[in-house]
Structure 1
Amino acid sequence: MYRGRLPREELPMNTRDVVFPPGRRALYERNRYSPAVRANGFLFVSGQVGSREDGSPEPDFGQQVRLAFRNLNAILAEAGCTFDDVVDVTVFIVDPEKNFEKAWEIVPEFWGEAPHPTLTGIGVTWLYGFDFEIKVIARIPG
């Protein structure tokens, strides 16, 4: 059995199966990242914030959380998923002592039924002008 490295020209080409939500491709191309990538039956979604169409933050915290979930759901839908397919969630919250309970009052509007996905909540000091961000890993149906 050969255990060495293949010469560079024999390595498989690394391609990403990227999912873009409708109408937001320029935003991701400008910022040089993929909104989501399909790999091995899973969808890995970049952190979604409550950004308006022009990219600016929604100023009201509750509406910012709702908009982050709507932006997330647009990506999930484009990949043929729903939030029920999500298996892992990471949320980032600025000033979690003040904002965590406020966010968690809104989450049930989008979260779905038990059993719920795993969750990691991280308190941060800065999110590029936003106060809430959510990133997920989802199982792709079928």
Structure 2
Amino acid sequence: MTQRDVVFPPTRRALYERNRYSPAVRSNGFLFISGQVGTTEDGSPEPLLENQVRQAFHNLNAILQEAGGSFDDVVDVTLFIVDPASKFDTIWNIALAEFWGDAPHPTVTAVGVTWLYGFDFEIKVIARTPEGA
């Protein structure tokens, strides 16, 4: 088996090692990023939905930057939401206004789930790597 080209954000490596998964893996011109939730540095959830969303995007951005990319490189997004009927608009308004900006936007799939380990929102993305752009 070939060695995975793993990308770790600078301040959260211990969290990923403790939970035994890779935050992101580069492969064939793409960066596959594990789902990001609104955690503080110690892994605990941000209590308010708005803060969870912003923190999840900040955690995502740290991985993108470590790989030499940005939100502009994201091509595909999957959102996991507990109770999407009451939370989707809040999440999507923050995402568009503060992180994605103007169209064209990446593709998006939103999935309603019943449980996210105590979180309300998770975002998983696939991005082009700078050398793959």
Alignment TM class, shorter chain as reference? over 0.9
Task: State the alpha-carbon separation in 2 of the partners of residues 102 and 19 from structure 1.
Answer: 30
TM-score (norm 2): 0.95
CA shift digits 1:64-122 (9 cap, x unpaired)? 10000000000000000100000000000001011111111211210133211111100
Identity %: 75
Q: Which has the higher contact order (CA 8 A, sep 6+)?
A: 2
Aligned to 2:24: 36
Instruction: Give the Å deviation of 1:60.
Output: 0.5
Matched to 1:119, the amino acid is: V
Task: State the alpha-carbon separation in 1 of the partners of residues 30 and 71 from structure 2.
Answer: 13
TM-score (norm 1): 0.89
SS at match of 1:89: strand
Aligned to 2:104: 115
Aligned-residue RMSD, C-alpha: 0.8
SS at match of 1:121: strand
Aligned to 1:77: 65
Q: Are 1:134 and 2:123 matched, yes or no?
A: yes
1:18-29 aligned at under 5 Å gives the runs 18-29=6-17
Task: State the alpha-carbon separation in 1 of the partners of residues 102 and 63 from structure 2.
Answer: 20
Tell me which stretches of 4 or more aligned residues in structure 1 moved more than 2 Å.
none
Q: Which runs of 5+ in 1 are unaligned?
A: 1-12
Q: In terms of Rg, which structure is larger?
A: 1
Aligned residues: 130
